[in-house]
Amino acid sequence: MASVILLTLLVIFVLLGAPIGFVLVLIPTAYIIITGEVPWTMIPYNMYESLAHPPLIAIPFFMLT
């Protein structure tokens, strides 16, 4: 049920014209905060750990050029 709500929110925000990057950060963060299934410290930890994968970082930078 939660995945249906999250997908619906994604579609609504995109149709309203919100930037996709903002939506992809806002919806999971709000879900983590509301449900309380994961500690809040997990959000910055995951953001920091994602920087350890240079190939994943190279894709957005390639698209920006």
- Full domain range(s) for residue 44: 2-64
Q: Residue 15 and residue 9: Cα distance in Å, rounded?
A: 10
- In percent, the amount of the chain with pLDDT more than 70 equals 100
Distance CA 8, CA 3 (A): 8
**Mean pLDDT for the chain overall:** 84
Q: Domain tally for the chain?
A: 1
Query: 24-41 pLDDT, tens per residue?
Result: 888 888 888 888 888 888
Is pLDDT of 53 > 80?
A: no
Residues in the chain: 65
Tokens representing 46 are 């995951």
With contact defined as beta carbons under 8 Å apart, do 23 and 13 qualify? yes
